[in-house]
Amino acid sequence: MRKMLVIAAAALFTFVLAGCDFYGTTTTTTTVSTETPETLSISTAAELLAVDVTKSYLLTADIDLAGAEWEPIGTPDDPFAGTFDGDGHTISNFQITHANANMNGLFGVVTGDLVDLNVTGFVIDITTSYLTYAGGLVAHTTGSLTGCTASGSIDVTNNAATAFVGLLAGYVAAFTTDTMTIDEFVAGVLTDCHASGSIVASADHFLYVGGLVGKTYNVEVTDSSAQSTISASCDTYRLYVGGLIGHNYGGILKPYADQVDDATIGIVRCYAEATMNLTASGTKAAVGGLIGYSQDAVIEDCFAYVAIAVAGAVIDIGGLIGEDWYDTIASVVAKVELVVAINTEQTIRFGGVAGFLHAESTVNDAYRLVYSSTASTNLAGTAVTITALADMAWYQNELGWSAATFDLASVIDILS
């Protein structure tokens, strides 16, 4: 008998995202056409403005939008369902200064695929009171992202609800339907994507912020990176901030591990470099150099450097992951500089690898370098010296990294 995926998936989604949608409906399942969309060439701003969300496009030239106010492509009711192939070209210099049905980016809602597309010089600066998604490339997608880059700035103020914010994408999820079976499910794909820039974000309820993506849900993330400056605050509930991803969940197949070839969904060969200034006035915060909160994922061959200044009552802070549940972590390095504003009722869980690490999480070949007057409460991983981090042979011998893993000269430049 074909096992239904949706029951467990729905339950897990509720657990992970409880409280995320106070004023609207999160776009998590979308019916898409099985027909192959027509592919058209596009080379001008006028043609970009006239995109038909049911068709596919090949970008044949760079497009400079010259600071124009931008209306995102694709909405919850009419998502972009085709393939947009940038062919290595760049769309630059657009701005969004009013909330667009709470989906803010070059693309709003996408169920198709974005490939080899660069966005630069964008400015997203919005104030809203409703559930909000913001990303330079795309606000919300259940399609794949391959070979895409984003460089710009995002400033989001949410006065009464929840926000998902990332320089590349606000929210990236695997495509699911209410009737999907196990054998029909395919994990989402985000590969060879990179972002740089600045984020300033505040929310009253929940806030998910990542240098690359605000939240990933059952998405395989590979060969991707982010370099960012992040300032974030959350007033009432929870704050999740990561140099790469704010909040990651990868366990949709976990209940079916004995029925599928591979139940793991990983984050592999990724890195982040970030400076963070955070205020967590609500119930809790999870802050990590790579990922703020991660659950049921495999984190392998990754590294992060983060400098964090943070104030708040209850905070999990990790050089790699702030709060970790049931992950498998292997061959990772984290360098963290931490400044914490102390108050009399403050609870801090802090570690060079993870702030909170569940007993069933697995850590192998994890290394940490910590600069902080705050004592580590989680000593997972092995301390490493700055001398080792400046030595290419150390990465080769201890982690087995090579040119096929990372450009080791660049790794040394970031971590040493």
Lowest mean pLDDT among 52-61, 94-103, 216-225, 377-386: 94-103
Q: CB of 312 within 8 A of CB of 281?
A: yes
DSSP 61-99: S-EEEEEEE---B--SSS-B-SEEE-TT-EEEEEEE-S-
Segment holding 209, helix H or strand E = strand 207-210
Q: Strand 291-295's sheet: what is its strand order?
A: 107-110, 138-141, 169-173, 213-217, 245-249, 291-295, 321-325, 354-357
For residue 273, give Cα distances in angstroms to 303, 378, 400, 414: 9, 22, 22, 7
The pLDDT value given to residue 36:
60
The pLDDT value given to residue 282:
87
For the stretch 30-48, pLDDT in tens is 444 455 667 999 999 999 9
For the stretch 364-376, pLDDT in tens is 999 999 999 999 9
The pLDDT value given to residue 342:
74
The pLDDT value given to residue 99:
82
φ/ψ of 257, rounded to 5, equals -60, -30
DSSP annotation of 375 reads: P
Q: CB of 199 within 8 A of CB of 244?
A: no
Radius of gyration of the chain (CA): 20
Q: CB of 193 within 8 A of CB of 146?
A: yes
Q: What dihedral do alpha carbons 369, 410, 357, 254 form, nearest 10°?
A: -170
Are β-strands 245-249 and 213-217 bridged in parallel, bridged antiparallel, or unpaired? Answer: parallel
> Is the model's pLDDT at 324 over the cut of 50?
yes
> Is the model's pLDDT at 126 over the cut of 70?
yes
What average pLDDT does the segment 402-412 reach? 97
Percent of the chain with pLDDT over 90: 85
Percent of the chain with pLDDT over 70: 91
For the stretch 131-180, pLDDT in tens is 999 999 999 999 999 999 999 999 999 999 999 999 999 999 999 998 99
Lowest mean pLDDT among 80-89, 103-112, 253-262: 253-262
Identify any residues that bridge with 165 across adjacent strands, giving them in sequence order: 134, 209
- Looking at every residue in the chain, the average pLDDT score rounds to 91
Q: CB of 287 within 8 A of CB of 257?
A: no
> Is the model's pLDDT at 279 over the cut of 60?
yes
pLDDT band at 22 (very low <50, low <70, confident <90, very high): very low
> Is the model's pLDDT at 60 over the cut of 90?
yes
The pLDDT value given to residue 344:
66
The pLDDT value given to residue 1:
38
DSSP 113-171: EEES-EEEEEEEEEEESS-EEEESSEEEESS-EES-EEEEEEEEEESSS-EEEESSEEE
> Is the model's pLDDT at 13 over the cut of 50?
no
> Is the model's pLDDT at 2 over the cut of 50?
no
Task: Specify the higher pLDDT residue, 281 or 77.
Answer: 77
What average pLDDT does the segment 213-240 reach? 97
User: Which 3 state secondary structure label does DSSP give 41?
Assistant: strand
> Is the model's pLDDT at 108 over the cut of 50?
yes
